[in-house]
């Protein structure tokens, strides 16, 4: 209960800051120098937050579709031979740092959101794929056999039995991917993506610690809230699977 209260308070505080950031200026002014502004105003913090979350949501959704699809494929009899290839493909994002992906993508995709989306998409594949693999390969054999004995087709077993039982583990991978993407998306501002990294970079360039703190605080709070939301979803999925 204490944790929920703390999360609710953090959510309310974040909403208040994004709606009326000037109200928090007195708290951040001690971090400024030579009369520099305490609140970043070049772009609306609300707009940056919405854009940041949209980039993360789009990248994680795409990662989940591809990674779960590959996980299902390589756990079928007809696709087991593709497991090494699938592991190699999903590991690309972890092999190449997001900064390297951005550097390689900009000449092809140009500046803006697309290079960032690509970097986040690639970086998010491996956790979701490995968790999908773990969830589908550790199912209770007796449950799968019971479903087969009931005359379910392979597709019916997958959608009605296997995926619902594996869902908590899959969501855990999506949660990890989402939290990593939320933090990593900030570097997208180095290639003109519309993210909260803009605030942090502006603070670093102008030696304004207030900007760095507010950008980092918003991202950290969002990460905590997203992590908590996915954990709640995992618990609900686990409860349904157990029932």
- What does the CA dihedral 62, 64, 67, 68 come to, rounded to 10 degrees? -130
Instruction: Give CA–CA dist 180/202, Å, rounded.
Output: 22
Angle of CA points 117, 175, 61, to nearest 5°: 40
| Contact yes or no for 88/129 (Cβ under 8 A) | no
pLDDT tens, position by position, 66-79? 999 999 999 998 88
| Contact yes or no for 188/113 (Cβ under 8 A) | yes
Instruction: Give CA–CA dist 51/36, Å, rounded.
Output: 26
Of the given ranges (26-30, 49-53, 153-157, 197-201), which has the lowest mean pLDDT? 153-157
Query: Tell me, what DSSP letter sits at residue 139?
Result: S
Q: Which tokens sit at 43?
A: 């772009």
Instruction: Give CA–CA dist 146/72, Å, rounded.
Output: 20
pLDDT tens, position by position, 22-64? 999 999 999 998 888 999 999 999 999 999 999 999 999 999 9
Give me the CATH code for the 44-242 domain, please.
1.10.3720.10
pLDDT, the chain, mean: 91
Instruction: Give CA–CA dist 110/74, Å, rounded.
Output: 35
Q: Which residue has the tokens 């619902």?
A: 164
């Amino acid at each position: 209960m204490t944790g929920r209260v703390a999360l609710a308070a953090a959510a309310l505080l974040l909403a208040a800051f994004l709606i009326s950031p000037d109200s928090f200026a007195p708290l951040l002014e001690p971090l400024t120098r030579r009369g520099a502004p305490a609140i970043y105003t070049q772009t609306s913090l609300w707009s940056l937050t919405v854009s940041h979350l949209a980039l993360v949501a789009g990248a994680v959704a795409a990662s989940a579709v591809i990674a779960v699809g590959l996980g299902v494929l390589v756990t079928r009899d007809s696709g087991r031979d593709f497991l090494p290839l699938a592991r190699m493909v999903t590991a690309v994002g972890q092999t190449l740092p997001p900064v390297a992906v951005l550097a390689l993508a900009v000449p092809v995709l140009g500046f803006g959101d697309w290079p960032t989306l690509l970097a986040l998409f690639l970086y998010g594949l491996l956790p979701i794929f490995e968790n999908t693999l773990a969830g589908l390969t550790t199912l209770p054999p007796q449950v799968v056999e019971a479903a087969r004995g009931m005359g379910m087709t392979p597709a019916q077993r997958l959608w009605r039995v296997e995926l619902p039982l594996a869902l908590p583990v899959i969501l855990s991978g999506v949660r990890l991917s989402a939290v990593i993407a939320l933090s990593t998306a900030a570097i997208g501002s180095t290639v003109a993506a519309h993210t909260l990294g803009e605030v942090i970079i502006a603070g670093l360039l102008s030696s304004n610690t207030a900007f760095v703190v507010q950008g980092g605080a918003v991202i950290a709070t969002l990460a905590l809230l997203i992590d908590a939301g996915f954990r709640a979803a995992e618990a609900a999925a686990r409860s349904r699977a157990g029932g």
